[in-house]
Structure 1
Amino acid sequence: MQMNSFDTKPGQNLGTHYNYNKGYVLLISLIAAMGGLMFGFDLGIITGVIPFIQKQFHLESFMLGWVVAIFEVGCMAGTFLTAWLTDKYGRKKTLIFTAFILILTTIAVALSQNAFDLAGWRFAQGIGVGAASVLSPMYIAEIAPASIRGKLVTTNQLTIILGILLATIVSYYFGDPNNVESWRWMFGAAAIPATIFFVALFVIPESPRWLVKAHFNDKAEKVLKKIGDDDFAQKELTEIVESLKSNTKQGSYKQLFGKVLLPTLLIGFGLATLQQFSGANSVTAYMQMIFEKANINIKDGLLNAVFVGLVFFLFTILAIALIDRMGRKKLMLVGTSGMALMLFLLAWSFDSANVNGTIVFIFVMAYIGIYAFTLAPVTWVLLSEIFPNHIRSKALSLASCVLWLATFLVVFISPYLLKLSPVVNFSIFGVCNIIGFFFVWRWVPETKGKTLEELETMLTGTGAML
């Protein structure tokens, strides 16, 4: 296997030089990141589905908000289940179980006969997506060398956006205004990538950090030697063992809410809340409602959504190029300020009797473009990095649960806000971004170029968050 050489970045042991099997690491990262693809598809497909299920099941604002938002309730449940399953059975087995759930629920959602069936199976599907939203970035962060971890974790976000893009293409392809049941094909198309994900997961190794935690040090060393050379494997294994040795107790929720870890946990909660109250899911989930209010017909709106998805995808590639250069914190500051500006411009564009659909479309694309290379990927990178090894699964599942709770609230209230006034909707989320800017500036640490063990020392030490 070919090895690629990387110098360590600032924050690592200076003067060291290790060889990594970049192709192997990329392969297993991409397989794990297919959980992100399913996350993106199942989240994004609702944009195209809404006009059809609203018509077929005669859904008013309350019931529509509930049918859409119950998916996020399932995601919250999935994040809780993940913490226990992944600690007990490992990252790999839990990922395989998650992929199986996604196959089963995808078929069931597509065959739903009424709004209650649809809501119930979307809840179950959300359990699988919630689990994947935790497991994929966690797994990638735990197998990735520090110098390329940001790029690799961001590939998970890239696959999320690829999933959203595929969902918009599927919606446009199957979205026949004359066939009210087009939504079944939109949902059902997800069975194909879910099956590929399930099969491919049997190729990846278990996380070396979980293996050490489960006292399989020899197996962990073998995995690390597949990832890098002998020197890298020895250094990583030593750091992981020392990190877990200094925390001999199994990570508990009581410990997580203790005075040492609580500040880091609150930063995680803040990041999770900020990503959603930036307004992204108000725009993406209800894009067709926004376009309709801008006098754009449904078929043109579905086509516009494809272009928005393409912008989302391309700007996520930009994030991969920037995240280990600019760092996490700078990108978050750029994102919150830029998104606030675009939301206020969207509010302005609707503040007239004659709304210009082209201007609205341009502002939506600009807003999504900024989100795509800042808050969308960087939040997940930070959440996968900031928590200590011995308690990462519980902390990340809690932070992800907060994220999904925030998503639920945004998705649930957005139909009301948009019905009341798009100006009010966009202005509220614009203000949330301004608040988020100052939160990031004051409290969020820079994690670029540091190993997970170095970050653990930094974030649990005195003044770590300053």
Structure 2
Amino acid sequence: MKNHRMYIVLITLVATLGGLLFGYDTAVISGAEASLQTYFTDSLGLSPLIHGITVSSALIGCIIGGIISGYLSSTLGRKYSLVVAAVLFLVSALGSAYPEFLFFTKGEPSIALLIVFNIYRVIGGIGVGLASAVSPMYIGEIAPSRIRGTLVSLNQFAIIFGMLVVYFVNFGIARGQSIEWINDIGWRYMFASEAIPALLFLVLLFTVPETPRYLISKNQDQKAMAVLSRLYDQAVAKATMLEIKKSFHDVNKAKLFAYGKAIIVIGILLSVFQQFVGINVALYYAPRIFESMGAGRDASMFQTIVMGLVNVVFTLIAIFTVDKFGRKPLLIIGSIGMTIGMFGVAGMAFSNVIGIGTLIFIIIYTASFMMSWGPVVWVLISEIFPNKIRGQAVAIAVAAQWAANYFISSTYPAMMEFSGGLTYSFYGIMSLLSAIFIWKFIPETKGRSLEELEDILTNKKGA
């Protein structure tokens, strides 16, 4: 039994490297965005909207990656979809660091170079979109039901840990350096550093198996049984094999809406609320938010690290409680905390008071998100969709998530120019609505197999 559990943990850790790179790629921009504004936007006389689009350009790729994740995970499989993501991360890291490669002269920014830089960021975003859909799907299909919430939550921990790592990396690169050096060279090192975990992820993926549920969907029963035998005791492996095969037996339920439209809508709304509460504004623009409080550049990056540490601690709380207390209570408690935090920040902004109080409210907000909506939404998305449509349905939910993320992140600079108080109030309202949505529409899913959940959710929410 211990050998089975150790094997499950090891392959889960490999899959969570996709989450780590997800976090690393999305947060690396936080240390570089001010330099990118100087290097590209200001030197070329472009508007703040163009800067917002550049900072958020990876999210366009995330949407694409989310959309194609269903096709790739259903054709290449879960494992080789992650291999594709690893290659994209590697290409993006090196290309974003040196977009002048082959066609441009270093140190001579232009509109064409800015476009090429954004293309490399979009390539990385496609990798993020793929990993964000397929990593939790892979873990969810491998994990035993009793610890599935914990193991899928490890992917969110990896995302936050990846963000924390890159905060340290960015801080280490920028510390003690002149602004001129950072604006010319430093930001390149920040993007290039991602190549190291990307290469590690690519190599380790060749040591893990394909998921048994995917193998059974392709009528590779012997390979599936071989994987199940490494995951469970023999008797449990055989019973799990029969349960999975039964869920694929109804050939009339292969179409996306065969189980009803409501389950798809719920998945989309989970994803949209996760972004409309404004979390990625806090993550992408953290150093700039702290600079607006009067902190210097080094101090603002240090405060970003503090926020990253808080995020890690509260994500660990979710990991250790999601299979004990359940998904629904954590989400509602988190929504209440986010509402308090965001309305607190909004109140400070309306009062034109910027200081330690703002930092406290931001930490309340991010801590509440990290113990709830951060990890638990990914757990639910890996659980709620039936086996036969999981690839397609997860792709739609994840694409909707990244579309919402792009909308929120790219509009933030323009919204802040209009009114900081109203901007943060909007995120507070979304946090409150997210609590009502969970209370009214989401059933508890802890402790049940994916096949049991298929029966419960489709009977409860089917058309």
- Compute the TM-score of the two structures, normalised by the length of structure 2: 0.93
- Displacement of 1:134 in angstroms is 0.7
- 3-state secondary structure, aligned to 2:350: coil
8 Å CA contact retained: 1:41, 1:163: yes
Alpha-carbon distance in 1 for matches of 2:443, 2:26: 29
Alpha-carbon distance in 2 for matches of 1:25, 1:77: 30
Are 1:392 and 2:379 matched, yes or no? no
Percent identity, please: 35
| Aligned residue number for residue 107 of structure 2 | none
Alpha-carbon distance in 1 for matches of 2:458, 2:350: 48
- Displacement of 1:464 in angstroms is 4.2
Residue identity in the other structure for 1:91: R
Query: Which digits, 9 at most, give the CA deviation of each residue in 1:22-52, with x for residues without a partner?
Result: 1110000010110000000001111111111
Residue identity in the other structure for 1:79: G
| Aligned residue number for residue 62 of structure 2 | 75
Alpha-carbon distance in 1 for matches of 2:396, 2:353: 45
| Aligned residue number for residue 14 of structure 2 | 31
| Aligned residue number for residue 240 of structure 2 | 236
8 Å CA contact retained: 1:282, 1:411: yes
Are 1:125 and 2:112 matched, yes or no? no
- Aligned to 2:374, which of 367, 376, 379? 376
8 Å CA contact retained: 2:279, 2:369: yes
- Displacement of 1:407 in angstroms is 0.2
Relative to structure 1, the CA distance from residue 265 to residue 425 in structure 2 (aligned partners, 3 Å threshold; closer, same or farther) is same
Residue identity in the other structure for 1:223: V
Alpha-carbon distance in 1 for matches of 2:248, 2:33: 47
| Aligned residue number for residue 330 of structure 1 | 329
Alpha-carbon distance in 2 for matches of 1:155, 1:313: 11
| Aligned residue number for residue 456 of structure 2 | 458
Alpha-carbon distance in 2 for matches of 1:350, 1:25: 47
8 Å CA contact retained: 2:337, 2:364: no
Are 1:51 and 2:38 matched, yes or no? no
| Aligned residue number for residue 276 of structure 1 | 275
| Aligned residue number for residue 23 of structure 2 | 40
What are the equivalent positions in structure 2 for 1:51-450 lying under 5 Å apart? 51-57=34-40, 58=42, 60-113=47-100, 114-175=113-174, 176=177, 177-179=179-181, 180-181=183-184, 182-246=186-250, 248-249=251-252, 251=254, 255-258=255-258, 260-356=259-355, 358-450=356-448
Alpha-carbon distance in 2 for matches of 1:220, 1:407: 36
- Displacement of 1:60 in angstroms is 3.1
Query: Which digits, 9 at most, give the CA deviation of each residue in 1:300-337, with x for residues without a partner?
Result: 11110011111111111111111001100111101111
- Displacement of 1:153 in angstroms is 0.3
Alpha-carbon distance in 2 for matches of 1:154, 1:76: 22
| Aligned residue number for residue 7 of structure 1 | none
Of 191-200 and 345-354, more deviation after overlay is shown by 345-354
Query: Which digits, 9 at most, give the CA deviation of each residue in 1:189-247, with x for residues without a partner?
Result: 0000000000000110110000000001111111011011011101110000000002x
Tell me, which stretches of 5 or more residues in structure 2 are unaligned? Answer: 101-112
Alpha-carbon distance in 2 for matches of 1:280, 1:107: 27
Alpha-carbon distance in 1 for matches of 2:325, 2:299: 37
- RMSD of aligned alpha carbons: 1.5
Query: Which digits, 9 at most, give the CA deviation of each residue in 1:390-438, with x for residues without a partner?
Result: 1101100110000000000010111112222221111010001111111
Alpha-carbon distance in 2 for matches of 1:234, 1:427: 53
Alpha-carbon distance in 1 for matches of 2:287, 2:313: 21
- Displacement of 1:352 in angstroms is 2.7
Alpha-carbon distance in 2 for matches of 1:417, 1:343: 15
Tell me, which stretches of 5 or more residues in structure 1 are unaligned? Answer: 5-19
